[in-house]
Amino acid sequence: DRMRTEGPVVRLRLPIVGRTWLAASHESCAELLKNSQDFARDPANAGSRTQERILKVLPRTLGLLASNMLGHDDPEHRRLRALVDDAFQRRTIAALKPTIVEMADRLLDKLDGKPEADLMTEFCRDLPLSIICAMLGLPEKDHDRFKNWLGGLKDTANVFAVIRAIPGVISVVRYLRRVSRPGGGARREGLIAALREAEIEGQTLSEDEIVSMMFLLFGAGQETTTHLISGGLYALLTNRDQLSRLRQDPGLMPTCIEECLRYVSPVQMTKPRFATRDLIWQGRQFRRGEMFAAFLAAANCDPARFEQPHTFDITRHPNPHLSFGTGLHFCLGFQLARAEASIGIQRILDRFPDLRLARRLEDTKWHKRLGIRALARLPVRLAA
């Protein structure tokens, strides 16, 4: 709120990335993301060679991670997105719902009889992880390894924490490379196998392209949804009038999930964009190559778009939040995320009618992360 009073676009120095402009109003965020002509994702399209130079000195394993649809502009972006679009369409996700229910129930079975639990480690993290692993076709015995590898990245505002997380990232990339080779263990009906056989304009994807795509789907699809489910549950448990309404009328689940998306804003800000030319925008002059990001969390609390923006209201409608971004890079997995969150939250509320936050509220800690709103723990009392 404070930033937005300084203007719709605010200059800031961020750790690691350096000087940047943040769009802090709903209108400026939407404009930034929809105008891919003037604001490119790939800095090379804005005349900057910095990323190219950095990628040259990075180990190849890390460098290839930048080469995915979210890092490209059209036409390359469109080419890569078209390959996986089908797997995330409404009908595919609808067909996946029984699997999501089954996986959620299997995780909740393990909580039966326990008086208390940390839902973060025992439910919210595991559900999206199991689903994305299943979609990719990764062998089930390997799912647990990811928790350790990816658990290291807790504080992205700290350069040393980011460096410490690199070995985990490298392990994931090596694993994905091995498993994506023929005979590497990926299941035939999963996305990995489909990508191996995919052809665009007569060409198959290179091993690097497949690994990069897997890593993006893995990262984008797992953490974000984890924090939607945990942050959404936390919002419900700390706004008990809203929880009671939802229990009385489960038909409110779709608007409840949209409100969780808005109120939590799991992705707090987007990836950077780069001005492709000198331009005047939102009443300011900008130079070619300058860096911008959309501060989605601020857009989602903009009083110009939302009445009482800091109130958690599960009946809010319409709810034009920007939690999935907008424009060219609008989230590929939005239907999957909605399905996982509504099934996950419904199953847990059904199973534990007396669910409450554990008494020691201070145990519910938020990570110090820049781009993601992330609870570290969610301790709850399961039974009265």
Residue with tokens 């209201």: 313
Q: How far is the CB of 299 from ligand HEM (least distance, A)?
A: 11
Nearer to ligand HEM by Cβ, of 180 and 382: the residue is 180
In the complex, the smallest distance separating the C-beta of residue 150 from ligand HEM, rounded to whole angstroms, is: 14
| C-beta closer to ligand HEM: residue 4 or 77 | 77
In the numeric block, the tokens 């989230």 are attached to 331
Instruction: Give me the residues that bind ligand HEM (CB under 6 A), please.
Output: 33, 69-70, 81, 132, 216-217, 220-221, 224-225, 228, 266-267, 270-271, 323-325, 329, 331-333, 336-337
Cβ closest to ligand HEM, residue 172 vs residue 358: 172
Q: How far is the CB of 114 from ligand HEM (least distance, A)?
A: 27
Considering the complex, state which of residue 299 and residue 382 has its C-beta at the smaller distance from ligand HEM. 299
337 or 374: CB nearest ligand HEM? 337
Could you give the CA distance from residue 88 to residue 164 in angstroms, rounded to a whole number?
33
Minimum Å gap between C-beta 131 and ligand HEM is 8
CB of 282 to ligand HEM, least distance (A): 18
Residue number, 70 or 382, with CB nearest to ligand HEM:
70
- For residue 278, the minimal CB distance to ligand HEM (Å) is 23
CB of 267 to ligand HEM, least distance (A): 4
Q: Which residue is nearest to ligand HEM (CB)?
A: 333
Alpha carbons 251 and 344: distance in angstroms, whole number: 15
Q: Which is nearer to ligand HEM, 276 or 323 (CB)?
A: 323
Closer by beta carbon to ligand HEM, 33 or else 237: 33
Instruction: Name the residue nearer to ligand HEM (CB basis): 81 or 177.
Output: 81
- Please give the structure tokens belonging to residue 120: 């973060």
Cα-Cα end-to-end distance for the chain: 39
> Least distance from C-beta 348 to ligand HEM, angstroms?
17
In the complex, what is the shortest distance from the CB of residue 1 to ligand HEM, in angstroms, rounded to a whole number?
A: 20
Q: If residue 307 lies in a helix (H) or strand (E), which one and from where to where?
A: none
Least CB distance to ligand HEM at residue 377 (A): 19
Cα 343 from Cα 41, distance rounded (Å): 34
Burial group, residue 251, by CB count within 10 angstroms (0-12, 13-18, 19+): exposed
Residues in CB range of 5: below 8 A, 6 or more apart = none
| Contact assessment for residue 24 and residue 5, using Cβ atoms and an 8 Å cutoff | no
CA–CA separation, 243 and 281 (whole Å): 42
The set of long-range contacts for 374-377, using a CB threshold of 8 Å and a minimum separation of 24, is: 374/223, 374/226, 374/227, 374/266, 375/120, 375/227, 375/230, 375/231, 375/234, 376/120, 376/154, 377/118, 377/120, 377/121
Q: Are strands 203-204 and 199-200 parallel, antiparallel or unpaired?
A: antiparallel
CB atoms within 10 A of CB 301: 20
CB 161 within 8 A of CB 49: no
Q: 117 vs 191, which CB is nearer to ligand HEM?
A: 191
What's the rounded Cα separation, in Å, for the pair 60 and 118? 38
**68: region left, alpha or beta (phi > 0 left; psi from -120 to 50 alpha):** beta
